[in-house]
Amino acid sequence: MVTKLLSSATLNKTIGDRTVEADNIVTYVYNICQSGSVTKLVNVRDVALTYSHAVMMRMLFGQRHFDKPAKDGGLGPKEKEHVDAVYRALDCLFGFSVADYLPFLRGWNVEGEEKDVREAVDIINRCNDPIIRERMHLWREKGGKETEEDCLDILITQKDDQGMYLFTFEEIRAQCKDVNVATMDNTMNTVEWTIGEMLNHQEILEKATKELNTVVGKDRLIQESDIPQLNYIKACCRESFRLHPPNAFWPPHGAREDTTLAGYFVPKGSQILVSRPGLGRNPKTWEKPDAFKPERHLVDHSRDSVDVTLMEPDMGFVVFGTGRRGCAGPKLGTTMIVMLLARLLQGFEWTLPPGASQVELISANTNLFMAKPLLASAKPRLAPGLYPQILI
């Protein structure tokens, strides 16, 4: 995953796929704004999911849809089914089950989670398997293509030192599910919460928009090469990660040996659960921990200026994780999050829905996503010619 699928070379090779979907999502929102004489509200969660799923599909499978494309540029019926299944699986991954602690209960579906996750995985497999089988047939029985064009090609063509194919169908299928599950929740959650916070703090929205006007302007769309200069927008993303992680805990880790942590003895074999809100809202670490203040991530007294990243190696809060069991793709995750947020802010003026005085910033009960999808008014702020045609 690290050396092949998410290497710098692969990310550079697939920049066109991500740019196409960054273009598509801007036009998708533009079409919503232009449809009818009555101002339509934009479902920010739907927009973020559409972008995240489309980028994942292009990079993994080399195509945007499983079968028929949606006419409006959004998710088609099969894509929606796939996304729903991914999030059902995620809810089970981060949930607590007594069978995790009493292994003799496994297989009895005591709390219903085993049935839920199996149903979700079956749906994901039904969507993915035909593409994987067809591509394996192409590479391993019909001679393949001139070059490896996407991550699935890379998985299928890997060979060991004896010249034998490295992965079986079952292993490739499992790796594809890992990619499906890992690429959507952070982007969707961070962008939705950030825009929600900005709508409640207009001065932050104006400052982010001003940065885009200065760095990029209004005569072209932001590109990935602009991201290093968008420090304030990255600071807004960091603040969302700190305040609004997608789930309350990291997935459980295991203690490989006896250790002492913060004065507590932790025996070998213990399950370690890291509280994401506990870190991000710790008053010993963060001044006014419940306030949304992106500027706190711009301060570095040791330097005249600071280059903001989304990584947090000191564990002041959890972004992509760190260490040997950290996320394999922090660079891709950073790029997707910042690119989507910046494109939405550059392309549109965002305001509260008519009659609303603020966004209700309430977390859901089962995870830490917004309890209700964020609806907002959007008005195009660029010349019409800058909103490209959607590429299927």
Write out pLDDT tens, residues 91-143: 887 777 888 888 899 888 888 888 999 999 999 999 999 999 999 999 999 99
What pLDDT band is residue 37 in, cutting at 50, 70 and 90? low
- The per-residue pLDDT for 267 is 96
Q: Name, in order, each residue with C-beta under 8 angstroms of 256's C-beta and a sequence gap of 6 or more.
A: 268
Distance, in Å, from the CA atom of 204 to the CA atom of 298, rounded to the nearest integer, reads 14
194 has pLDDT over 80: yes
What's the confidence (pLDDT) of residue 167? 96
Is residue 127 annotated as involved in ligand binding?
Answer: no
pLDDT at position 305, please?
A: 59
User: Do 153 and 172 touch, CB atoms closer than 8 A?
Assistant: no
> Quick one: pLDDT at residue 7?
86
Q: How many Cβ atoms sit within 10 Å of the Cβ of residue 15? A: 13
Coil, helix or strand for 223?
coil
User: How many angstroms separate the most distant Cα atoms in the chain?
Assistant: 68
Residue 96: is it exposed, middle or buried by C-beta count within 10 angstroms (0-12/13-18/19+)? exposed
- For residue 79, the tally of other CB atoms under 10 A from its CB is 22
Structural element, H or E, at residue 383: none
Whole-number pLDDT of residue 3: 86
Task: Determine the distance from the C-alpha atom of residue 137 to the mean position of all C-alpha atoms in its chain, rounded to a whole number.
Answer: 31
pLDDT at 374 over 50: yes
Residue-level pLDDT at 24: 94
Position 271 scores a pLDDT of 85
Q: What stretch of H or E contains 271?
A: strand 271-272
And the tokens for 290? 């419940």
Mean pLDDT of the 60-75 span: 89
* pLDDT digits 0-9 by tens, 319-342: 876 667 667 778 888 999 999 999
pLDDT at residue 234 greater than cutoff 50? yes
The whole-number average pLDDT for the span 293-317 is 79
What's the pLDDT score for residue 304? 54
How far apart, in Å, are the Cα atoms of 146 and each of 139, 247, 298?
10, 42, 46
Q: What is the pLDDT of residue 392?
A: 67
In the chain, the amino acid numbered 209 is T
d(CA 193, CA 215): 24
Residue 315 confidence class, pLDDT cut points 50, 70, 90: confident
Helix, strand, coil % over all residues of the chain, rounded to 5: 50, 5, 40
Has residue 87 got a pLDDT over 60? Answer: yes
Q: Which two tokens stand for residue 140?
A: 């391993």
Fold of 8-386: Cytochrome p450 (1.10.630)
Q: Determine the average pLDDT of the residues in 52-78.
A: 91
pLDDT at 301 over 50: no
